[in-house]
């Protein structure tokens, strides 16, 4: 299996890879991701698996009758964060096709369809809302709101998709009996546990908040410090407050994205916009963290004479995966159960059908970075584990 994994992996590894950073630029519905979607269709065709869409940009390759119910869905996403790792997303799709091959080679014929999915815009790196495809399929985001989301160049999701997204598809969703997403681990728990594969137990509640700070643009050289209303000052304080409040709560807070207007070395900014990514093991901890950061930012804005607007752009509640299914798969695979702070399409679908996750060991533990890694042997172990899970769920 290791050789077959490497052979298939090498087909997509160069797609969207930045030569300088070694990271990936695979934004949803851009040329790199579109090439991966074509690769998906070709792989499905090679296996005689008809591909259908849901009108939202998600793709589904069917092993079995697309009209039949009780299907077992697996797969993940192709899109990446800017200069992201190779495995976050694509590993789940490549592994799904190889797991189908594994079952067929063993002469297994499922009694219900097995479906490989590629969800669109899981990272939210282009249109700002993570898990956009799975939220559309499940009706967790309004199709008109999704249609109007715009990328940095002002292109709307509907324009990129080529049409208004279809939105919720309860009939399609109702044909799935379970969803299993295999994903590279985004941490080092499996390294510490010395295990190649784990079963997901939960996803931390998390969300994204946009902090818009407005002040008075002015000349850097002629404006006295006492006369300034500098939003960068309030923003810098907010970032430090987020860091401190997260540490006090053993939570996670990140400000990794900021935009400055006019963004000139010799001009005091008129506006600074920063995005807070906040996550915590418990909902009340997350709420307390975000409230504290907002309060500190507002208090500092008053001192700086700047104006603050905070907008929640996305939120994912605590996801506890189907306990019966997680325990059953952990027993089947003799694998540990593992919570994660990372969001996934599985976290969205978990509210709509029995859902499980498999994690594959990442020796560096690093993700959303070119340093993300996984060994071919562990990826092969992931495929074998996924094949066993699909057989367990689709053959009985």
Of 89, 43, 77, 34, which is closest to residue 62 (Cα–Cα)? 43
> Which of Mn ion, ligand HGY, none does residue 89 bind to, with CB < 5 to 8 Å depending on kind?
Mn ion
- 176-184/355-360 β-pairing: parallel
269/347 with CB nearer ligand HGY = 347
Beta bridge partners of 184: 360
List binders of ligand HGY among 329-368 (CB under 6 A): 342-343
Shortest Cβ distance from residue 65 to ligand HGY (Å)? 32
Q: Cβ distance 396 to 111 under 8 Å?
A: yes
- Out of 110, 130, 196, 215, point to the residue binding ligand HGY (CB under 6 A): 130
Binding mask 72-111 for Mn ion (x = CB under 5 A): ----------------xx----------------------
**Rounded to whole angstroms, how far apart are CA atoms 127 and 111?**
39
**Rounded to whole angstroms, how far apart are CA atoms 58 and 179?**
14
User: Does the footprint of ligand HGY cover residue 372 (CB under 6 A)?
Assistant: no
> Please, is 217 exposed, middle or buried when counting C-beta atoms within 10 Å of its C-beta (0-12, 13-18, 19+)?
middle
- Only segment of 122-130, 266-274, 302-310, 376-384 that touches ligand HGY (CB under 6 A): 122-130
- Out of 33, 54, 101, 122, point to the residue binding ligand HGY (CB under 6 A): 122
User: Does the footprint of ligand HGY cover residue 23 (CB under 6 A)?
Assistant: no
Count residues binding ligand HGY (CB under 6 A): 5
Q: Cβ distance 175 to 68 under 8 Å?
A: yes
Binding mask 37-76 for ligand HGY (x = CB under 6 A): ----------------------------------------
Q: Cβ distance 286 to 279 under 8 Å?
A: yes
Beta bridge partners of 206: 279, 316
**Rounded to whole angstroms, how far apart are CA atoms 386 and 87?**
16
CB atoms near residue 10 (< 10 Å): 9
> Which of ligand HGY, Mn ion, none does residue 343 bind to, with CB < 5 to 8 Å depending on kind?
ligand HGY
Residue ranges binding ligand HGY (CB under 6 A)? 122-123, 130, 342-343
Residue ranges binding Mn ion (CB under 5 A)? 88-89
């Amino acid at each position: 299996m290791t050789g077959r994994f490497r052979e298939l992996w090498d087909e997509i590894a160069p797609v969207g890879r930045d030569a300088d950073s070694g990271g990936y630029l695979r934004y949803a519905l851009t040329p790199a991701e579109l090439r991966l979607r074509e690769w998906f269709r070709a792989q499905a065709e090679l296996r005689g698996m008809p591909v259908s869409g849901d009108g939202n940009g998600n793709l589904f390759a069917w092993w079995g009758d697309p009209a039949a119910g009780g299907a077992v869905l697996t797969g993940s996403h192709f899109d990446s964060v800017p200069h992201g790792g190779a495995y976050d997303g694509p590993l789940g799709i490549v592994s799904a096709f190889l797991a189908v091959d594994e079952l067929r080679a063993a002469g297994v014929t499922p009694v219900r369809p097995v479906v490989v999915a590629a969800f669109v815009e899981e990272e939210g790196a282009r249109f700002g809302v993570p898990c956009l495809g799975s939220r559309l399929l499940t009706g967790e985001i309004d199709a008109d709101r999704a249609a109007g989301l715009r990328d940095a160049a002002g292109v709307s999701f509907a324009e990129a998709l080529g049409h208004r997204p279809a939105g919720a598809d309860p009939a399609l969703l109702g044909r799935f009996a379970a969803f299993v997403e295999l994903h590279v681990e985004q941490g080092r728990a499996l390294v510490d546990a010395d295990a190649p594969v784990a079963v997901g137990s939960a996803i931390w509640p998390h969300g994204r908040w946009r902090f818009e700070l407005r002040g008075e643009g002015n000349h850097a050289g002629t404006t006295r410090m006492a006369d300034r209303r500098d939003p960068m000052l309030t923003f810098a304080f907010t970032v430090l407050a987020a860091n401190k409040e997260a540490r006090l709560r053993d939570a996670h807070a990140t400000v990794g994205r900021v935009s400055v207007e006019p963004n000139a070395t010799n001009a005091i900014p008129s506006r600074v916009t920063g995005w807070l990514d906040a996550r915590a093991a418990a909902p009340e901890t997350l709420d307390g963290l975000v409230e504290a950061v907002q309060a500190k930012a507002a208090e500092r804005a008053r001192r700086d004479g700047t104006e603050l607007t905070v907008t929640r752009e996305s939120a994912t509640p605590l996801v506890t995966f189907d306990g019966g299914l997680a325990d059953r798969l952990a027993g089947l695979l003799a694998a540990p159960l593992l919570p994660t702070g990372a969001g996934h399409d599985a976290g969205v679908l978990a509210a709509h059908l029995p859902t499980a996750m498999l994690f594959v060991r990442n020796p560096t533990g690093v993700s959303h970075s070119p340093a993300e890694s996984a060994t071919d042997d562990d990826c092969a172990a992931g495929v074998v584990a996924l094949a066993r899970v699909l057989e367990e769920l689709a053959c009985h």
